[in-house]
Amino acid sequence: MLYLKHFGLKQLPFENTPDPTFFYYSKEHTEAIARVEYVVSTKKPLCLITGEYGSGKTLIAYTLQTKLSQKNFHIVYSGNPFLPADELLHHLVLSLVGGVRNFLLKKLRHYNFSLKYLKEMYKLVDIQLL
């Protein structure tokens, strides 16, 4: 903490995860963000950002997460590319369920009541789902 005082810093400049407040909008980073925003706004199914190790891909992802979550987008982020396909799918589903839950809670606060219509529940195999 001595270097905070020595250099006149108000917060630590380097942490374990990138901080979007320190994002530098270089030409390349600005283009990457613009491309992802285009993909999102036109509802394209996929966007791929590639780059060398340390080029700022994770910081771009965190910056986009901050920008898009302010526009009511639900962001699912997985930082582990080595998960087996079934575990990755499990992670994504759990993340999306949290987004759906938050969405429904917001709707419940807005409306006076909520109606759930569940048809043919007897077909569910696992009684725990009820």
27-41 vs 57-69: helix crossing angle, rounded to 10: 50
Q: Are 36 and 75 in contact (CB under 8 A)?
A: no
Q: Would you list the domain boundaries of the chain?
A: 1-75, 82-118
Q: Please, what is the average pLDDT of the chain?
A: 77
Q: What is the tens place of the pLDDT at every residue in 92-112? A: 787 777 777 777 777 777 765
pLDDT band at 65 (very low <50, low <70, confident <90, very high): confident
8 A C-beta contact, residue 61 and residue 19? no
